[in-house]
Structure 1
Amino acid sequence: MIILTVIMGFIALIALAMPDLVLLGLFLIVPGIILMVAPTAFLYMASATAIRWLLPARTGVKATVLAFCTAGVFAALVAYPFRWIGEREYRASIQEDVVCASPLKLEGNIRLERRDVLHWKRGQTEQCDELCAALLLVPGVKSVTLANGIDCQHETTWKLVPRGSVPNTRLKPIDPEQIFQHYPAEEDADRLGGTRIHEFHQARREQLAAEWNLRLATRQTLVARDVAVAPHTTIVITRSKQDSKPAVERIEVLGQSGRTLFRRSLVEHSVVNSPPYIAFHPSMSNSRFAIGRTKYSTGSRRERFDPIAELIENVEGLRQTPSEDAPRLVKQRLVEALGNVASDSDGLELAVPWIVGLGYQTPSDKDAEIVHRIVANLRVPDVGEALRRIYPKTIPLRYRSILVQRIIAQQTHAEDRTYFASLLSKMPPGTFADMTAEEWQVINDPSLRGDSAAFIERLADLRKPGVQPMLEILQHAVQTMPKWHQRKPVVQAVCRGLARLGPDANEALPMIRSSFEQQRCPITNSAGDALAWRIAMARMGLSIEELPHPPSWKEPAIAKMRDQVSRRLAKYDPEAGLW
């Protein structure tokens, strides 16, 4: 028996150390089953062996049977308290569902308690999400008070008021069109199929987003106040998932008196099995062993609970049917506003949301023309983030002067300046051979140049006349920016620019080499930076054998560096740059 226990312990050790081997063994059936049950079998055999050792030797087979029975009973007794506690916690978490005979009608002030806030995206806890937006559109609802967190102490009241009655806050809900994700999947399966379903859902999302944009630009203003009002109806969404505790997902609707008008829950809990065993959980990426548990659930097997979907099914007016004409009206009003140069038309507020609505695809010729007019209109602020969706890396040449004007404009954010400069730096070679006064302003103004460092590289289009400005910019960065992260974009842009120039930048070699060989080199911070400058110096005319390197380097390291530079030079593309 001892020998069998040792053998089983060795097999159990293999299974626990390499659980993926168990999964592989299951394809051969018998080896997999042996490995899978080995940990549990070893525990019971080791316990039975210990008990058998305490019994008289002459009892023989009876003692062995008694030892196994005693080990099983003892294991069950040890696991029973944990099972009992788990079952009690599961029962305590259950609340009886309350079903309403007819859809609920919401009126007045609504309090929405989101106790599932830990599952939201960061930064959305204090914003009006898709459910908040949908509730605001329910006929009869005056306001929605969001109460967030487990204790629901942080309260923000959202309200739609007539446009012009309060200053324009420019607040808007977060992705109100996401409410359609909570609609039943089979809703349109009978009348649509395949790609038509996807197209229908996409069109419906675009319609609701356009409807909201049009509403906030023409008819109403969304306001938020950090005060709570007395609610007529309270909606409570709970989602609690903690280790070793029951998982509770619940939606409740409470009347003004606190009476429960509707409740729907899903409670799940995994309780330790008695008698205990070690269960194998197969996975293609993370197979593992764990204590065997029995799953308790108030729902069906693998049921997914969506509290917002439950609310949509049981609240009158919450299901939305957006206007199919909304996208066309948004586009029409936007075009009219772009043509109105006399005043800051409210329709310009539609510009950025309209670009966002185009998605991450190349726009049609007509839409591309509208995008061009939007970017060219400096009355439309903060276009950078939206423009990234359709022009992430390159942009048509006709945007040249527009982007420069955007960089110079005071209202442009630093992040947008960096993006616009990056687009300029990727325009065709020779584009900036004849720089305009505004482009020289971006180059010469340190306050603009810091955010638009990528554009410095295009001084290479000037050929030899561009060398001296680049050297002056590099020297200014070294002298005025003591920290590497501050001067890094400028240093790298100058490096790329000199590499583009190649032999035309030969006059810059003495200064670059002198800076490179300093003990505390101001133009490098890593091996990658050093490699880039060596490639640039080689492009500028310095032979590979003369490339500078630390005096401590041995011959193998020097040879490796030279070989690396040679290979990079062979496939160097001036249009692509070094990075």
Structure 2
Amino acid sequence: MPRWLKLYLSVTGPLALVALAMPGLVVFGLFLLIIPGLILGFAPTAFLWGCIFAALRWLGARWLAERWRTPAALVATIALLIAFPTISILEARERAALYDLPDRIPAAPIRPTGDIRLESRLPRWDNPNRNLLGFRPYSCDNLCLALLFEPGVRSVTVNSSARLSHGEITDGIGRLDGYSRTYRLLPKGQCAMPLDPDLVGRDGLYGTTPEENRAIAAYWALRLGNDVCLAGETARTGWDVLIRSGEWTSGAPFPNPWSLSPQPAVARYFEVRDRRGPLARRFEVSVRALSLPFVIASMGGLENFRFGWGFGTIGANLNDGRSPDGPLDHVLRFSPIPARSEFLPMLRTSLQAALADPDRGREDAVFASLKGYLDALKGAPLPSADRALLLALVREPRVATVDQAYQLRDLFADDLPALRAAIVVRLLALPISGDSRTQSLGNTLSGWPDAAFTTLSADEARLLRDPDRRTRAAGLIKRLADQGGAAVPLLLEIAQTHRQRRNIVMDPDQERSRPEADDNAVDAARIALCLIGSAARSALPALELLTPTGGGFEKMDWDRMMLRLGKPLTRIEKPESLSGTTESYRRNLADWQARFDPARSCGRL
């Protein structure tokens, strides 16, 4: 064996052993200095290739002269590193073809009718109705509700597709599990136990814009509040149309990383079928085979970093972030909601009736249509009837939250005092343990015109004196900056009170969101003091005692405020959790102060 080859193996061998035995060192090397991590990460492959080359050169010594051994071994090594994975790749292609199913593209969008079976890999749990039902089945989410509102659809049964076999997917069969549930829309008053649809975080399904999605959700809320109710029952076994999406694998989801065989086939699929067979289908299959060339690769994340044979993907890329049910809006046809000219009067009448009826509770579906109502009012002068209705809705405690509250400022651009008064009345009327979702309504006040809060109303002053309710009025606390130095005593009291409350261990029966609410109040006071600047210098000694001890960025925001008030830069220390030196930290603070912009520099709520 040549001397240079011995040296190569004696260097790469120990490095490969270290990397394979302690893969965490590779991660550490990448974080510390990139080059050491890259060297350690490649060492196992380098040693493997060297061993193959050395073995082939040794075998060639029996038939080849010395001068031909090295080039012959090099060519043979390259050929072997390509040929060996090629066998795996061909086998992977056969496996992918074995499990693939033909795609089917419908000539026109499909209109669902009858009894629908809706299956997905991870159906949402019915958390909104868990206490009412006493158990937690699969929920009726926005797709379920969209189907139920289609003329001709009688029911939707929600089920899981997680444990289906390839044969069951092919034949469109499969059993219900213990969490399956059938949902129907019944005339209002006929539901023995009316249910809430599961629309948390989702505003509709088939709109082309966020506004259109909110309009769909508002239309559903309008219907649920006035003429229909959602009912659940034991899951029915029969169906007329099956809408199924999910993922499937032919073997263990986490195969042995040192196996030389192709990994199990994985498929992502979506299908709509009736009793006669598939109407629409997209089936994507992927199999991982040994990569070209043959290597030892790293895999996993920080918590499970490891090595194994390098693999490449044959077939579809299933790591593209797409959902299996992505084609829904192209395959299914849904009836359009009424036009804006029809829809707006319907919303207005429904909301007025709900406000006038004291029996309509806080969670009544009609109040959820407020988002769509706000969208429908955009782009036109606000009629007086809608102005009065909006103010009543803002003041109404039964309206749990006012989403898109920022739209209110635009709608009331010529009458902001009336909106301001209504918001304050609403915040004052909230119980101490009120819903934290009203935070956005209080934050809206921060966007009022300059100097709007130089003088406070009696209600605003009363709200700011109430430690329990002012946590939802962060926008008002921030706008105390309009008063300059006169607001410093109140801002200091707010910061002290809520910092202290934040650090108290809470009683389990108290409002669970209070720590976050207290943080919001302190942050709003910090922003106001930062905007006031040197006129609040008298508060420096007291604020020094409130310096955060937590995260680095929280302390950095606090240090910026203290610098604005007049604290010497030389007395500011860098948070330990931030990188760099104290000198560089102080330079960054000085640069921030030199480029100070009242609109951005102190932060936003």
In the superposition, the TM-score normalised over structure 2's length comes to: 0.60
Amino acid at match of 1:333: M
1:87-126 residue pairs with structure 2 within 5 A?
89-90=95-96, 92-94=98-100, 108-115=114-121, 126=138
Q: 1:374 aligns with which of 373, 390, 402?
A: 390
- The Cα shift of 1:354 comes to 1.2
- The Cα shift of 1:489 comes to 3.8
Match of 1:150 in 2: 162
- The Cα shift of 1:132 comes to 2.5
1:460-539 residue pairs with structure 2 within 5 A?
460-462=481-483, 466-477=487-498, 479-482=500-503, 487-498=518-529, 509=538, 512-516=539-543, 521-525=545-549, 527-538=555-566
Q: 1:86 to 1:389 in 2, by over 3 A?
A: farther
Q: 1:482 to 1:42 in 2, by over 3 A?
A: closer
- The Cα shift of 1:353 comes to 3.4
Match of 1:295 in 2: 314
Q: 1:326 to 1:466 in 2, by over 3 A?
A: same
CA–CA distance in 2 between the matches of 1:52 and 1:68?
8
Q: 1:89 to 1:446 in 2, by over 3 A?
A: same
Amino acid at match of 1:440: A
CA–CA distance in 2 between the matches of 1:221 and 1:465?
55
Greater mean alpha carbon deviation, residues 242-251 or residues 142-151: 242-251
CA–CA distance in 2 between the matches of 1:3 and 1:356?
80
Q: Secondary structure in 2 aligned to 1:112? A: strand
Q: Does 1:428 align with 2:478?
A: no
CA–CA distance in 2 between the matches of 1:129 and 1:89?
36
Amino acid at match of 1:327: R
- The Cα shift of 1:228 comes to 1.8
Match of 2:265 in 1: 246
CA–CA distance in 2 between the matches of 1:224 and 1:455?
44
Q: Secondary structure in 2 aligned to 1:266? A: strand
Match of 1:418 in 2: 439
Greater mean alpha carbon deviation, residues 63-72 or residues 244-253: 63-72
Q: Which has the larger radius of gyration?
A: 1
Match of 2:236 in 1: 229
What is the CA deviation profile of residues 16-69 of structure 1, one whole-angstrom value per residue up to 9, with x for unaligned ones? xxxxxxxxxxxxxxxxxxxxxxx9999889746633433455654998999789
CA–CA distance in 1 between the matches of 2:87 and 2:584?
67
Amino acid at match of 2:226: T
Match of 1:450 in 2: 471
Please, which runs of 5 or more residues in structure 2 have no aligned partner? Answer: 10-43, 125-136, 164-176, 255-262, 298-308, 505-514, 574-580
Q: Secondary structure in 2 aligned to 1:165? A: coil
Q: 1:536 to 1:373 in 2, by over 3 A?
A: farther
Q: Secondary structure in 2 aligned to 1:446? A: coil
- The Cα shift of 1:162 comes to 1.0
- The Cα shift of 1:401 comes to 0.8
Match of 1:328 in 2: 341
CA–CA distance in 2 between the matches of 1:337 and 1:561?
57
Amino acid at match of 2:378: P
- The Cα shift of 1:461 comes to 4.5
Task: Determine if contact 1:382/1:413 at 8 Å carries over to the other structure.
Answer: no
Amino acid at match of 1:515: A
What is the CA deviation profile of residues 281-316 of structure 1, one whole-angstrom value per residue up to 9, with x for unaligned ones? xxxxxxxxx95868357x9xx9x9976758976xxx
State the number of aligned residues.
484
CA–CA distance in 2 between the matches of 1:169 and 1:426?
38
Q: 1:248 to 1:116 in 2, by over 3 A?
A: farther
Amino acid at match of 1:238: G
Q: Secondary structure in 2 aligned to 1:447? A: coil
Cα RMSD for the two superposed structures:
5.7
Q: Does 1:319 align with 2:326?
A: no
Task: Determine if contact 1:429/1:575 at 8 Å carries over to the other structure.
Answer: no
Amino acid at match of 1:531: D
Q: Secondary structure in 1 aligned to 2:186? A: strand
Q: Does 1:220 align with 2:228?
A: yes
What is the CA deviation profile of residues 242-271 of structure 1, one whole-angstrom value per residue up to 9, with x for unaligned ones? 673323234556778xx9666845242346
What is the CA deviation profile of residues 74-112 of structure 1, one whole-angstrom value per residue up to 9, with x for unaligned ones? 768855874576356435534578999999997654332
Amino acid at match of 2:286: H
Q: Secondary structure in 2 aligned to 1:442? A: helix
Task: Determine if contact 1:431/1:461 at 8 Å carries over to the other structure.
Answer: yes
CA–CA distance in 2 between the matches of 1:372 and 1:135?
35
What is the CA deviation profile of residues 362-406 of structure 1, one whole-angstrom value per residue up to 9, with x for unaligned ones? 9324359747842542346134323246769x9873321122122
Match of 1:191 in 2: none
Q: Secondary structure in 1 aligned to 2:403? A: helix
- The Cα shift of 1:153 comes to 4.4
Q: 1:277 to 1:390 in 2, by over 3 A?
A: farther
CA–CA distance in 2 between the matches of 1:453 and 1:275?
58
CA–CA distance in 2 between the matches of 1:430 and 1:310?
50
Q: 1:372 to 1:578 in 2, by over 3 A?
A: farther
Q: 1:410 to 1:146 in 2, by over 3 A?
A: same
Q: 1:86 aligns with which of 83, 87, 92?
A: 92
Match of 1:13 in 2: none
In the superposition, the TM-score normalised over structure 1's length comes to: 0.62
Match of 2:286 in 1: 269
**Percentage identity across paired residues of the two chains:** 21
Task: Determine if contact 2:488/2:536 at 8 Å carries over to the other structure.
Answer: yes
CA–CA distance in 2 between the matches of 1:449 and 1:335?
31
CA–CA distance in 2 between the matches of 1:269 and 1:502?
60
Task: Determine if contact 2:474/2:521 at 8 Å carries over to the other structure.
Answer: yes
CA–CA distance in 2 between the matches of 1:448 and 1:3?
80
1:17-56 residue pairs with structure 2 within 5 A?
47=52, 50-56=55-61
Amino acid at match of 1:438: D
Match of 1:363 in 2: 378
1:119-134 residue pairs with structure 2 within 5 A?
126-129=138-141, 131-134=143-146
Task: Determine if contact 1:246/1:270 at 8 Å carries over to the other structure.
Answer: yes
Greater mean alpha carbon deviation, residues 478-487 or residues 39-48: 39-48
- The Cα shift of 1:466 comes to 3.8
Please, which runs of 5 or more residues in structure 1 have no aligned partner? Answer: 10-38, 119-124, 181-197, 281-289, 551-556
- The Cα shift of 1:447 comes to 0.9
Task: Determine if contact 1:338/1:374 at 8 Å carries over to the other structure.
Answer: no
Q: 1:137 to 1:513 in 2, by over 3 A?
A: closer
Q: 1:460 to 1:239 in 2, by over 3 A?
A: closer
Q: Secondary structure in 2 aligned to 1:408? A: helix
Q: Does 1:159 align with 2:184?
A: yes
Q: Does 1:386 align with 2:392?
A: no
Task: Determine if contact 1:458/1:497 at 8 Å carries over to the other structure.
Answer: yes
Q: Does 1:171 align with 2:191?
A: no
- The Cα shift of 1:446 comes to 1.3
Match of 1:27 in 2: none
Q: Secondary structure in 1 aligned to 2:336? A: coil
